[in-house]
Structures are given as structure tokens and as C-alpha cells.
Structure 1
Amino acid sequence: MLLEEFEPSPAVIEPTDKAIRGGGEVCETMIFSFNGEIVDRVRQMPESRESGYLESINGRHPWYILERDGVRVAVMLAVVGAPMAVGHLEELRACGFENFIVLGSCGVLDESIEADKIILPSSALRDEGTSYHYAPASEEISYEPALLLAMEKALNQAGIEHVRTKTWTTDAFYRETVDKVKRRLAAGATVVDMETSAIMAWADFRQAKVYQFFYTADYVDHHKNEWDARREERTADCMIFFDVAMAIAKGVTNESI
């Protein structure tokens, strides 16, 4: 099987290659948001400024630096999908960023989990392709436990409620069949996303510090074989989730002092 050919040796193209274009001013912590509205609103803040960018055939991918309550962070839009998300994380780490706070929405497989809840993915089922190039083949993968505990500590100190659970990472959101959902639930996954297992494998391979959380969105109803977008239930302003990321950034900064 091709996906069992993991090799830890250096690649022909490495993210540190001088031919990789992009760069700019960096800081210690990057908030990597899959929610474009969050990035747009940060961009419009008077204390925010564009400070650098990555570049691809899709165009420029800028990041913005701002300081709030003594915490300095960069904020950048994360492109949906494991290959591009990990590719950008590779290049951002090569630019000099050290801590990565990753946030975005996730689908719910368990109806009892309400919309707009904060989820910490403690492990992920690997139903995507990218992770198999960063870690040996396996059913699932997880983050370094110390990083998860540091994130939980920061959230607890900020009084932010959260749930720790396993996620199902899949490349094909239009192929979440009833039987697959049942099997993923039986394996312990209660939410679904598109990048986490790949980011976990990358973080372990590169020894990168990643602090990832979700906020719950739609419900994949395997009982009725229906998709519930839960639009009426998703009432939280997206900047609430940015505040969660800032709380983690503050905790991470305090830990490193």
C-alpha cells in the first residue's frame, strides 16, 4: 500500500528551502484560523497590521500581527484541507513561528453535543492522506499530552468550558455515509473535521507546538440519514472563538516566561 511507505528521511523539497517564497515579521505565536470572518475582523482592528505572507499559485496568504493585554500574536487564514493546511504550517514554522493555535468548526456525530461548544481533539482517526507521509500507518494519532494539558490549563484559568474528545478526520465530507458514521462513533469519535490527524502527525514529525480546538457546528444525523446545518442554533459571534484562542496564547506565553 502506498500509504504504508512512511520514510523519516529528508525530502527533495524542504520548507526551509530558500526557493520557497514568502516571509516577513514573525512573533512567537501564530493563530491559524479556518474561519475567514475572524481573520477579516482582526485585519480591520486599528492595532493590527499586515506583517508578512506566504505565496502559492492561489496568490498571497498574509498574516497580521496585533498585541492585546500584553500578548503578541500573528493571525492568518488557514486553507481548508489537510494537504494545504500542513503545507502552510511547514512554511510558517520555517519562517520562525514557534506556537500554533489552530481553530475552526467541526461537525458533530453525537446529537447530545450542542452547537458552539469548545472541543479539544485529544486524538484523531486518520481518514485522510497527508498524515501517512509524516507518521507510520495507524488507525489514529494524538498530540503530545503535555501540549493538551497546557491548553486545558489555559482554558481552565480563563473559565472557558470545553470538552475533550476524539475526532474523525476525513478528506471527503460528501462521503460521510450512515455506516461510516456508525463505525466512527463505535471507534470513539464524536466529532468530524478535515485536517486534525494530519496536523497531529506533522506536529509530532517536526516537534512543533500545536494547540488546537474546535467549535461545534453542523450535525451529521446517521439516525435519519440527514444533514442538520444547525444554522438557527449557531448564534455565537465568531470573535468569541478568537477570544478563546487569545486565552490559550496568554497561557502559552505565561508558561514560556
Structure 2
Amino acid sequence: MLLTEFESGRAVIEPTDKGIRCGGEVCETMIFSFNGEIVDRVRQMPESREVGRLQTLNGRHPWYILERDGLQVGVMLAVIGAPMAVGHLEELKACGFENFIVLGSCGVLDESLVADKIILPSSALRDEGTSYHYAPANDEISYNEALLLTMEKALDQAGIEHVRAKTWTTDAFYRETADKVKRRMSVGAEVVDMEASALMAWAQFRQANVYQFFYTADYVDHHNEEWDKRHEERTADVMTFFEVALAIAKEL
């Protein structure tokens, strides 16, 4: 089977190749946000400036450096989907960023998880393709425990409530059937996303420091085979979640 062909050797194209790397100012920590509104609002802050970019066929992907209270962080929009998200992280690491704080929403499979709750995805079911090129084939993968503890310490110190959860990472959000949801829940998945298992595999392969958290959004109701967008329950300002990322950055 193709997905069992993991190889750890050098690839024909590496992110460190001179023809790939884009220039720009870097700092130690990059906040990689799947929420575009967060990045737009950071971009408009007076203490923020555009300092670099990645370039793809889709166009420019700029990053910004924000300086606040002696803290300096990079901020960039994360493209949705495991292949591009990992590809951009590869290039950002090659550019010199050392720590990656990744944030975005997730769907919930367990209705008891209320909207806007902070979730630390400690492990993931690998229902996407990218991770199989960064780690041997297996149904599940986890983040580095030491990095999870660092993130938990930062959130505890900031008084931010959070829980760990197993996520189901899937490439095909239009194919989340009721039976699949039941099967994923039967092995412990509580939330669903599109990138986490690939990011976990990339972090292990490149020995990268990835600190990822979700905030809960819609509910995939497998009982009634309905999609609950939870619009009325999702009341938090998105910058609340950016402040969570900054709390982690301060700990690093």
C-alpha cells in the first residue's frame, strides 16, 4: 500500500534548498493562525510590521512581526489543509523560526464540549495523507509530552482553562458520515480537524517545537445526522484566542 512507504532519507526537494527559501526578518517564535481575521487585525496594529513572505502559485503569503511589552513574535496566516500547512512550516523553519504556536478552530464530536473551549490536541487519528510521508504508518500519533507540559504550564499561569483531547484529523470534511463519527468516537476522538496529525508527524520528523491548540466551534451531530454551526454559542472575540497564543509565547 502506498501509505506504508515511509522513508526517512533525504528528499529530492528539501525546504533548505536555495531555490525555495524566501527572505525576510525572523524571530524565535511564529504564531501560525488558521483564522484570517486574527491575522488581519494583527496586521493593522501599530506595533506590527510586514517583514517577509513565502511565495506559491496561489500568490504571496506574508508574515508580520509584532512587538509588545518586550515580546517579539511572528504572525502568519496558516493555509487550511495538511499539505500546505506542513509545507509552509517546512519553509518557515528553514528560514529560522524555532517555535511554532498553531491555533485554529475544531469541530466537536462530543456535544458536552461547549463552544469556544480551549483544547490541546495531545494525539490524533491519522485520516489524512501528509503524515504518512513524515512518520511510519499507524492509526494514531501524538505530540511531544514535554512540549504539551510547557503549554499547559503557560495556560495555567495565565488562568486559561483548557483540556487535552484526541482529535480526528481528516482531509475530507464533506465525508464525515455518521458511522465514521461513531467509529472515531469509539476509539476516543472528541474533536475533528484537518491538520493536527500531519503537524504532529512533521514536528517529530523535523524535531520542531510545535505548540498547537484549538478553540471549539461547530458540532457534528451524528445522532441526528445534522451539522450544528453553533453560531449563537460562539460569542468570543477571535483576539481572545490570539491572547492565548501570546500567553504561550511568553512562557517560551
TM-score tier, shorter chain, comes to: over 0.9
**Aligned ranges for residues 59-138 of structure 1 at < 5 Å?**
59-138=59-138
Give the letter for the 1:140 counterpart: E
- Determine what percentage of the aligned residue pairs are the same residue: 83
Matched, 1:178 2:178: yes
Give the letter for the 2:132 counterpart: Y
Aligned residues: 252
Give the letter for the 1:251 counterpart: E
SS at match of 2:27: coil
Contact 1:21 1:55 in 2 (8 A): no
Instruction: Note the C-alpha offset of 1:69.
Output: 2.1
Contact 1:23 1:53 in 2 (8 A): yes
Question: 2:155 maps to what in 1?
Answer: 155
- The 2-side partners of 1:23 and 1:218 are apart by 38
- The 2-side partners of 1:70 and 1:146 are apart by 26
Give the letter for the 1:213 counterpart: F
Poorly superposed stretches of 4+, deviation over 6 Å: none
Matched, 1:29 2:62: no
Instruction: Note the C-alpha offset of 1:122.
Output: 0.5
- The 1-side partners of 2:70 and 2:128 are apart by 38
Instruction: Note the C-alpha offset of 1:71.
Output: 1.2
Give the letter for the 1:87 counterpart: G
- The 1-side partners of 2:133 and 2:56 are apart by 21
Instruction: Note the C-alpha offset of 1:21.
Output: 4.4
- The 2-side partners of 1:69 and 1:21 are apart by 31
**Aligned ranges for residues 159-238 of structure 1 at < 5 Å?**
159-238=159-238
Q: Deviations over 1:20-77 (max 9, x none)?
A: 0422000000000000000000000001000100000000100000111221100000
Question: 1:255 maps to what in 2?
Answer: none
Q: CA RMSD in A?
A: 0.5
- The 2-side partners of 1:41 and 1:48 are apart by 10
Contact 2:21 2:94 in 1 (8 A): no
TM-score normalized by structure 2? 0.99
Question: 1:51 maps to what in 2?
Answer: 51
